[in-house]
Structure 1
Amino acid sequence: MVRISSAPAALALGVGFGISAVLGIGFLTATRVEKRRQQLLTSGAAQAKAEHIAFLARLDHEMKNPLTAIRAALAAHGIEGSPHLQVADTQATRLGSLVGDLRKLSDLQSRPLESEPVDLGQTVGDAVQAVQTYLDQLGSKRHFAVHFPTVPWRIPPVLGDADLLYLAVFNLLANAAKFTNDGDSVEVRAGEAEGWVWLEVADTGVGIPDADLPQVWDELARAANARGIAGSGLGLPLVKVVAERHGGRVALRSREGEGTAVRIDLPACRPALVRPTSG
């Protein structure tokens, strides 16, 4: 059994330190990332990207040590029987996950890409199955519908890193599941046009307020109506990084209270086929 100190002063000091430190780190993280992003908007694109990658890596390093110390202190003190320390432990775990996501985002912007033909239909199928399995474990359900045209020809593959493209698709589906309710619908559709393959994930979820739409691709940005839903605000930025590293682009449409559709456009592996017409 974990022993908990009964000294009121020591407990109060531990609770105050744990909660204040965790909340303070969370506030500073969001503030510093946004401040740095605004500063880099005035720099050249290439320099800004390199500096931002370095900043994320440095932030990961600076956050890791104090978080490790806080979690070690909480573990040594023991959190059983103390709701305040349990809150601090939960928030420390959440911030640890946030730091991990920031590290992942930094790595995605600089890691070498594999290059092979990727079947997006297979990628979507694998990601849908993974999200459905997760929802089943939670006892929740969404109605997934996937439409990839097969006539007059199939969607061509895209050239890229299969693991990163899966990560992007999985994030889109997980986001759609997160911001919808039990029994809601999620549609995945695809097509090709003028050498591009496009993939769109649409849902019947809470949607995004108009005022928040300009910030949806910003790191740590969260819509006003999503504050009560767990998340880091890094899912869509991650999708954007993956798409752009493959020479692609992203777009989003949303109506609050109706749903959201997120689209990725990627260069096709081969030119679109053209059926000969009879004279």
Structure 2
Amino acid sequence: MIMKSLKWRMVTIYVLLVLIVMIACGTMIVMRISNNAYKEIETGLKKSISTSMEAIGENSTKEEAIRKWEDAIGGYRDSERKLYLLDTDGKVIFADKQGNKDAYLTPMVMAAIQDTSIQKFDKVYGRNKDDKKEYIGYASPIKVENEVVAVIYILAPSEQVKINLYSTVRIILLAILFAIVLSIVFGFMFSNFLTKPIIALSNKARDMSEGDLDNPIEVLSTDEIGELTKNFNIMATELNHNLTEISSEKNKLETVFAHMTDGILVFDTNGLLIHSNPATRKLIGLADKNSFIEIFGQYLDTTYERLLMNIKGGIRQHIIRIKEKYVNLCFAPYLDQNKNIMGSICVIQDITKHKKLEEMQKEFVANVSHELRTPLTTIKSYAETLLNGAVDDRQIALDFLNVINYESDRMTALVQDLLELSRLDNKQTKFSMQCINLSHIVESSISKFQIHAKKKQQEMVYNKTDNDYKIIGDANRIEQVIKNIISNAVKYSNEGDSITINVYEESSYVVVMIEDTGMGIPNEDLTRIFDRFYRVDKARSRAMGGTGLGLAIAKEIMDCHGGHINVTSEVGVGTCFYLYFPYEA
């Protein structure tokens, strides 16, 4: 870990550089001193031989030359150097000291015998067992009439050179050691100077990764490091600004996703679920499902790979039914910056109401057609019968005409109800809104059905109070609603049943309660009794002249007055309607 840090790497490089330079310089110094020392010895040897040759002078014969050199060598007095007279075979003819008489066939001796020059001097060791020193040798030919007759070979010890070199090497090693220590010290100082701002940048980068973008780094210099620090602070400021904006946008998106009524599902390229919003769980219930196949596998006849291929060309929609809900699935791709598909987004829309509305519209058209076809068929058949001669029988003609008139009235009532519903739907109905006494309207409506109730031996009870409940509304329309409910109570109650009407205040409403002890309404029909043309007992309703639109019109009128209708019922016990009108005492 230590060697991996920038500081230690810089110190190591600095020390290695100094070490290499010092070793190179030391090596060059040692080699130069060594060469100079050996050169100096060689020069001394050459000078000694040259001086001896000048003293001996010219020789006339080989024997005379050898004798003179033997005399010269015999008188040579140097405790360190050794002087040898060699024949042309390299054998020792005469020596200044008693020693080994073996031949010296060194490169320099051979060169002297051959009367050629050589740049390299000899290095030889003493041949006696007591003399193992290293010597430097120099050889020079002895000529008589330009012919080499012998060789003078002189050896000088080189131990002092080695001693001097060892001393020099020790000094150089000490210098290298001292340089290493200094380079470590200065390396640390230099690396600290360079790495301190870098460490500060590194620490700041770590803090930035943890979310701290507010504290800038102090700029300590104006050099490249200082410029880098300054730019780093600018980058941190910009990054903080951008992250704030991104966070704000993310919060907006999350808020939008969280409060969308449509569901959102996001899948990756492998079909794994990576995001969903709360509306999705309400619409289809995800439970522990985490992939496209788990969620839609049983509803869609396609694979995720095929879906990705299909949505390359644009949005693809599928309508499926999940339990009691119809949902519209809109699949679209989401792309990266290079326009590559990264996955898919599915928008889930609840179209249950739309589907039910479509079904209601189809049912409505079918019901209207049926309601009109029945009286039209009756009228047509009776008219054809009259045209075929039945008109001549007065009684039959009157009966048929009464039927035709009755069916015509039914169609007229049906068309009027349809027109009224259409005007209510399109907000075209004009209401004469004014302050009215609801109690008086209830009494008036009851009085109009007393005779019908008595005919069926039904008891109609109105629990009148002393309060006059005054509301804002259209008196005729409100009376129409109350009469419709009372009329149904009379029609669908058997002989001897009772009908009770109460008016009372509840919270901010005046409630008109109309309760009967008639046949009652099954639970499965309660939610649909306000649908158009819906009848609990279709045959009985038509026999009683109902169009199946009365309660639908009543509900629309109540909605236009800001009120509403509730109903409770039990088969065989009876039904109770509650009309709620806004009221301020």
Cα deviation digits, residues 245-269 of structure 1 (max 9, x gap): 101011100001110001111111x
> Whole-Å Cα distance in 2 between the matches of residues 179 and 104 of structure 1?
24
Give the corresponding residue for 2:176. Answer: none
How much does 1:134 deviate?
4.0
Give the corresponding residue for 1:239. Answer: 554
Residue pair 2:460, 2:500 contacting (<8 A) in 1 also:
yes
Q: State how 1:206-221 maps to structure 2 within 5 Å.
A: 206-221=519-534
Q: 1:105 to 1:191 in 2, by over 3 A?
A: same
Give the corresponding residue for 2:421. Answer: 105
Select which of 459, 464, 488 maps to 1:143: 459
Residue pair 2:442, 2:479 contacting (<8 A) in 1 also:
yes
Select which of 228, 242, 255 maps to 2:570: 255
How much does 1:189 deviate?
0.9
**Going by fraction, where is strand more abundant, 1 or 2?**
2
Residue pair 1:67, 1:96 contacting (<8 A) in 2 also:
no
> Whole-Å Cα distance in 1 between the matches of residues 478 and 409 of structure 2?
27
The one-letter amino acid of 1:132's match is: Q
Residue pair 2:375, 2:407 contacting (<8 A) in 1 also:
no
Q: 1:204 to 1:69 in 2, by over 3 A?
A: closer
How much does 1:148 deviate?
4.0
> Whole-Å Cα distance in 1 between the matches of residues 380 and 521 of structure 2?
38
Give the corresponding residue for 1:14. Answer: none
How much does 1:196 deviate?
1.2
The one-letter amino acid of 1:100's match is: Q
Residue pair 2:530, 2:552 contacting (<8 A) in 1 also:
yes
Select which of 437, 441, 448 maps to 1:130: 448
Tell me the TM-score normalised to structure 1 length.
Answer: 0.64
Equivalent pairs, count: 212
Secondary structure at the residue paired with 1:217?
coil
Cα deviation digits, residues 53-78 of structure 1 (max 9, x gap): xx99xx79xx69x9779847844652
Give the corresponding residue for 1:17. Answer: none
* Greater gyration radius: 2
Select which of 484, 500, 503 maps to 1:171: 484
Q: State how 1:44-55 maps to structure 2 within 5 Å.
A: none
Give the corresponding residue for 2:540. Answer: 228
Give the corresponding residue for 1:28. Answer: none
CA RMSD of aligned residues (A): 3.7
How much does 1:184 deviate?
1.2
Residue pair 2:452, 2:490 contacting (<8 A) in 1 also:
no
> Whole-Å Cα distance in 2 between the matches of residues 258 and 200 of structure 1?
16
Query: Is 1:119 paired with 2:437?
Result: yes
Q: Work out the percentage of aligned pairs sharing the same amino acid.
A: 24
Residue pair 1:148, 1:155 contacting (<8 A) in 2 also:
no
> Whole-Å Cα distance in 2 between the matches of residues 260 and 69 of structure 1?
35
Cα deviation digits, residues 222-254 of structure 1 (max 9, x gap): 114x53242222221121111111010111000
How much does 1:81 deviate?
4.8
How much does 1:125 deviate?
0.9
Secondary structure at the residue paired with 1:106?
helix
Give the corresponding residue for 1:188. Answer: 501
Residue pair 1:175, 1:235 contacting (<8 A) in 2 also:
no
Q: 1:173 to 1:205 in 2, by over 3 A?
A: same
> Whole-Å Cα distance in 2 between the matches of residues 72 and 220 of structure 1?
23
Q: 1:70 to 1:212 in 2, by over 3 A?
A: closer
Query: Is 1:156 paired with 2:474?
Result: no
Secondary structure at the residue paired with 1:182?
coil
How much does 1:166 deviate?
0.6
Q: Which runs of 5+ in 2 are unaligned?
A: 1-350
How much does 1:200 deviate?
1.0
Tell me the TM-score normalised to structure 2 length.
Answer: 0.32
> Whole-Å Cα distance in 2 between the matches of residues 193 and 155 of structure 1?
15
Q: 1:169 to 1:77 in 2, by over 3 A?
A: same
Cα deviation digits, residues 176-234 of structure 1 (max 9, x gap): 0001122211011121133211111000000001121111110111114x532422222
Q: State how 1:193-204 maps to structure 2 within 5 Å.
A: 193-204=506-517
Residue pair 1:208, 1:256 contacting (<8 A) in 2 also:
yes
- Which of 1 and 2 has higher RCO (CA within 8 Å, sep 6+)? 1
> Whole-Å Cα distance in 1 between the matches of residues 432 and 485 of structure 2?
21
> Whole-Å Cα distance in 2 between the matches of residues 148 and 132 of structure 1?
15
The one-letter amino acid of 2:438's match is: L
> Whole-Å Cα distance in 2 between the matches of residues 40 and 123 of structure 1?
39
> Whole-Å Cα distance in 1 between the matches of residues 578 and 523 of structure 2?
18
The one-letter amino acid of 2:449's match is: V
Cα deviation digits, residues 8-46 of structure 1 (max 9, x gap): xxxxxxxxxxxxxxxxxxxxxxxxxxxxxxx99429x9x
> Whole-Å Cα distance in 2 between the matches of residues 132 and 264 of structure 1?
20
